[in-house]
Amino acid sequence: MMMQTQPVHRLGTRAKVLLSSVFGPYAQDDAYGSRKINPMELYQNQVTRTQGAFSLRMFHRSFGLMLLQANIDAPCTLLDFPSEDRFIEELQSCSYDIVGVSAIIPNIGKLKRMCDLVRKYQPNATVVVGGHVANKEDIHEIIDADHIVRGDGVKWFRTFLGQDEAAPVRHPVTPSGNGARIMGVGLSEKPEDTAAILIPSVGCPMGCNFCSTSAMFGGKGKFINFYETGDELFSVMQGIETKLKTQSFFVLDENFLMHRKRALRLLELMEKNRKSWSLYVFSSARVLKSYTVEQLVGLGISWVWTGLEGEDSRYQKLKKVDTRSFVRHLQSHGICVLGSSIIGMENHTPENIDQVIDHAISHDADFHQFMLYTPIPGTPLHAQHKADGTLLPESEFPAADTHGQYRFNYRHQHIRNGLEGEYLLNAFRRDFEVNGPSLGRLIRTTLQGWQKHKNHPDKRIRNRFLLKAKTLRTTYAGAVWAMKKWSENNKTIQAKMDTLLNGLYREFGWKTRLFAPLAGRYLYHSLKKEENRLQNGWNYEPHAFYEKNTAALALAHQRKGERTVKSTVPWVTGDLSPVFGRLQAGA
């Protein structure tokens, strides 16, 4: 575990560093702990799992590793989503002084294999391990690593390399997703068409008993701000906007709006500088309700991931909040809602589980995540089950299966014999059957926002909704036409799509009436092809990324046989001070 007095590497910033995520492929059952039902896709894994060709398929980079690389002055290479052979090739072809690997607990088998490979091919390298896997109590008995880092990796690495740990945090400039597709159609990969990632803070002071992210950064009441003020954050966002030409940001912060002073200052600066940005945020319902809708719309809040947890939830973040009416209120202003519900809480039983699921899907959220109530090592919930003696031994329930989409890793008081897995699947299925494809819900909410704010007195806000309306007139109308045709055997969903399509026709007129069936026939054909592909067992895997910072690139130029650089991925700081670039090559 990390020592009280942190060591410093003898080479300092002259040390050659390799950072890597665990190796793929991921969406398969293998000896190292990968599981077919636990792919490297957030939405397909936990949100649109049973929506077939309507599922949003997308990959997200290892943003923690990208943040580390941006803040390391030493020569640093990043290998993201490699195969095992590609990782071995890197160890055989380049000499490193430090190899860092990040992982989650279900991937501990792959992590062990990678640590063993480093020892085999580069026995003199220092092995550093981080990520959620660091919360595992017995990790030092499983893997062969020199340092296991829990918490702020930027600060740890800066200290380890002899850098100034208090220097401004450099923020990587990168899109939030890649490889996006839906209904069998690949979405634009242009940076300006994709939300950029934005990481203002890590950790969450709410400290919910099941939250591993909160636990990793200190637990209840604790968090780390990389950018303390709205001015710093605005500067970072301006820098990202300039480099990517984007107008939207996916804010990777557990409860972004809880930092009220920073958020309201950001609003002031957006108003002053006429920014029509869109923000996609995580936030608890109580914090959302502490803002006026005018403030939320002014901040550009366009999408919010919020915990609904369950009826009669005991969590403070939901106290005195009528979540169903609040979700509808947000949607009426064009704010899409991804609701998150838990299956298997202490009061859930086989007798009331249908009521629990019906309550969740009655929110009609644009997207809905369902997860099993799972005690993850490091969390208060895990400590409670350990003290109660209800945790299952790993010989009976491997760590690879502790991902919240399969089975309980403990003995539930009421739910036994693996029934929780069927309850979970039933929640996904019911949500899809009753509320229809999430894409249709998103289009409905986007239309509501346009109708509410198209004549807003603030041109900055009008421009944001005008940008969204361009898609409503064309591509989205075609998608709704295709969804209406697809749902011929589900009259409830077909009626919803018919109402939505007619709403688009009334709003946008004859051009949309002409375009929708033309685009719709193409999308319907693509949808059917995608369904066939999925039925034949097709899996989706991310491609590998291979990136070097300036110092590593300088070393690479001194050697022959290096891979050709294809593009530059820069970073920015809160004060927009001069920065170096990070260069991406084909992997």
Q: For Cα atoms 139, 144, 150, give the angle at the middle one, nearest 5 degrees.
A: 45
Q: How many helices (H) and strands (E) are present in the chain, helices listed first? A: 21, 20
Question: pLDDT at position 321, please?
Answer: 75
For the chain, 587 residues long, give each residue's pLDDT as a single digit of tens.
Answer: 344 578 899 999 999 999 999 999 999 999 898 999 999 999 999 999 999 999 999 999 999 999 999 999 999 999 999 999 999 999 999 999 999 999 999 999 999 999 999 999 999 999 999 999 999 999 999 999 999 999 999 999 999 999 999 999 999 999 999 999 999 999 998 888 999 999 999 998 888 999 998 999 988 888 999 999 999 999 999 999 999 999 999 999 999 999 999 999 999 999 999 999 999 999 999 999 999 999 999 999 999 999 996 666 565 555 667 899 999 999 999 999 999 999 999 999 999 999 999 999 999 999 999 999 999 999 999 999 999 999 999 999 999 999 999 999 999 999 999 999 999 999 999 999 999 999 999 999 999 999 999 999 999 999 999 998 999 999 999 999 999 999 999 999 999 999 999 999 999 999 999 999 999 999 999 999 999 999 999 999 999 999 999 999 988 877 655 555 443 457 777 764 333 333 333 34
Amino acid at 376: I
Q: Which class for 514: exposed (0-12), middle (13-18), buried (19 or more C-beta within 10 A)?
A: exposed
Q: For Cα atoms 376, 101, 29, give the angle at the middle one, nearest 5 degrees.
A: 60
Structure tokens at 186: 């690949």
Coil, helix or strand at residue 370: strand
Domain with CATH 3.80.30 in the chain: 172-372+431-445
pTM for the full predicted model? 0.93
Q: What is the 3-state secondary structure (H, E, C) of 11-26?
A: CHHHCCEEEEECCECC
- Residue 189 main-chain phi, psi, to 5 deg: -100, 5
Domain with CATH 3.40.50.280 in the chain: 12-171+544-586
* Cα dihedral 216→222→226→230 (10° resolution): 140
Strand order in the sheet with 367-372: 196-198, 248-251, 278-282, 301-309, 336-343, 367-372
Q: Classify 172-372+431-445 by CATH class.
A: alpha beta
Give residues with Cβ within 8 angstroms of 575, minimum separation 6: 168, 232, 235
CATH architecture for segment(s) 12-171+544-586: 3-Layer(aba) Sandwich (3.40)
